[in-house]
Structure 1
Amino acid sequence: MTAIKVLTSVSRKCTVIAPVSLSIALLVTSCNDNKASQCQRLIKLVNAGTSLMDANKGKQVVTSVQLAKDLEYITKSIKELNLKDPKLKEFQNGFVKAFETLYQAIAKAAKALGAAKTAEDSVSGREKIQKSRAEIDSALTTAATTVGKRSDVLVRDLNKYCSQPE
C-alpha cells in the first residue's frame, strides 16, 4: 500500500473509533454517578447562580428583568439535576427554594422600578414612586436577608458534606 492509502485507512478507522470511544466514556461516566460527580454538578449550578447575582448588583431595570429570567433558568436547571444521593437531594431542594425566592423578588423589584421610571412629575406620580420604592425595598431586603442566611448555611453544609469521603 502506498503511504496515502495507509493514512486514509487509518483515518477511517480513527473516525469510527473516536465516536465509539467517546460514547463508551460518556456511558461509563454516567453510570458512575458517584457522590463526587453529583456534588460537582450541583456546586457548578449554584456557583453559576451566585455569579449572576454578583455580576448584576446595582444594575438597571432591564438587567434586573434579565437577571430574574437567568436565575429562573438556573433554578430550573438545579431542579432538573438527577441526583441520587438523598443528602444532595436535600441540598438541591434548599437551593431551589433559595433561588426561586430571589428571582421572584428581583422580578417584583424590577417591575416596581419600571413603574417608578414611568411615573409622571405630579402628585400621583410621586405617590407611585414612593409605592415602588417601598415594594422594591420590601421585596429585595426581605428576600436578600432570608435567602442570604439560608444560602450561607446550605453552602457551608454542602461543602462539608461533599468534602467527606464516600
Structure 2
Amino acid sequence: MSVGCRKNNIIIPVGVSLTLLLVGCDYSKASQCQRLIKTVNEGNSLLEINKGTQVATSLKLAKDLQTATEKIEQLNLQDPKLKDFQTRFVKVFTTLSQNINKAGKALNTAKLAKASTSGRQQIQTARSEIDNALKAAEIAAKQSDVLATQVNKYCSQPE
C-alpha cells in the first residue's frame, strides 16, 4: 500500500464523518429555530419596507409575501413544536398576502372609477373592501407578533 492510498483511507472517512456531523447539527432545535426565525424575519421586513405604498407596490408586496410564505412552508423542520409554529406562520403570511392583494386591487378600482354616480358607488365599495382587508391584515400582523414572541420564548429554552 502506498502513502497516497493511506491518505485517502484517512481523508474519506474523516470527510464523511464531518459531513454527517454537519448534517446532524442542522436538525438541532437551535438550528431549526434559527432557520424559522430568519425566514419569518425576511417576510416581516417586506412589510416594514413597503408600509403605506401605492397600488403597484401593494400588489408586488402581496406576491413577495406569498413567496415568503412558500419559503416558510418549505423549511424542513423536525421539532414538532417548531412545525406547529411553522404552520401557524404560513397561515398568517397567507392571510397577509391575500388581504394586501385585495386592498391593492380595491385601491386600483377606486383610482379607475369615473366621476359619476356608478363611479362613486365603486369608490364606496372599494373603500369598504380596503377597510375590511386592512383590518384582517392588522389582525394577522398581531397574530404574527404573538407567534414571534412564542417562538423566541420556546427557542430560548435549553434543549
Please confirm whether the aligned pair reaches a TM-score higher than 0.5, indicating the same fold.
Answer: yes
How many residues were matched structurally? 145
Partner of 2:3: none
Aligned counterpart in structure 1 of residue 64 of structure 2, from 70, 73, 82: 70
Structure 1 segments of 4+ aligned residues over 2 angstroms from their partners:
23-31
Report the counterpart of residue 4 of structure 2 in structure 1. Answer: none
Does the C-alpha gap of structure 1 residues 26 and 49 become closer, same or farther in structure 2, counting only changes over 3 Å? farther
TM-score by length of 1: 0.82
Where do 5+ consecutive residues of structure 1 fail to align?
1-16
Give the TM-score of the pair, scaled to structure 2. Answer: 0.85
2:18 pairs with 1:29: no
Work out the CA distance in 2 between the residues paired with 1:30 and 1:62. Answer: 42
Q: Within the alignment, does 1:109 sit opposite 2:94 as a pair? A: no
Give SS of 1:83's match.
coil
Q: CA separation in 2, counterparts of 1:134 and 1:97?
A: 24
User: 2:96·2:141 contact (CA, 8 Å) conserved in 1?
Assistant: no
Q: 2:92 aligns with which of 95, 98, 104?
A: 98
* Amino acid in the other structure paired with 2:157: Q
Question: How big is the alpha-carbon RMSD for the aligned residues of Structure 1 and Structure 2?
Answer: 1.8
Which runs of 5 or more residues in structure 2 are unaligned? Answer: 1-10
Q: 2:129 maps to what in 1?
A: 135
Selected match of 1:148 from 125, 128, 141:
141
Listed one character per residue, the Cα deviations across residues 112-133 of structure 1 (whole Å, up to 9, x for unaligned) are 1111111111111111111101
